[in-house]
Structure 1
Amino acid sequence: MGKTWSPEDFTSLVDDVQERLFAKLPDDTWVYPGHGRDTTLGAERPHLVEWRARGW
């Protein structure tokens, strides 16, 4: 997820990512972030609550 300018924008972005990716694709789906190592949705799924709480 990219940079947002407000808490509302961040919440909207996280909601979209959860709805469009995590809710529809299996854990073994590879993702290629703009920086950092390639990963899978399954490896990142446990961090969704943490990301939302942290706000980035």
Structure 2
Amino acid sequence: MDQLRKDARYREEMDGDFSTVDDDHNFLWMIENGSIGKAKGILTQKEEKEFIKDTFCKE
């Protein structure tokens, strides 16, 4: 848990740099013994908009 606190504090100091968000996700995923949902990269802005539309904007 100490490593998690250190990592979270480090990320806060990066001030909005999400260039390693997939690695950050997978770090937390590993700590929680994840079995599904491992990040395989970072979506482009266009891909993210499509994902949000397809996932959360169902009619």
Fold equivalence (TM over 0.5): no
Q: Which has the higher contact order (CA 8 A, sep 6+)?
A: 1
Higher Rg of the two aligned structures: 2
User: Which protein has the bigger strand share?
Assistant: 1
User: Which protein has the bigger helix share?
Assistant: 2
TM-score bucket of the superposed structures, by smaller chain: 0.3 to 0.5
TM-score norm. by structure 2 comes to: 0.32
TM-score norm. by structure 1 comes to: 0.33
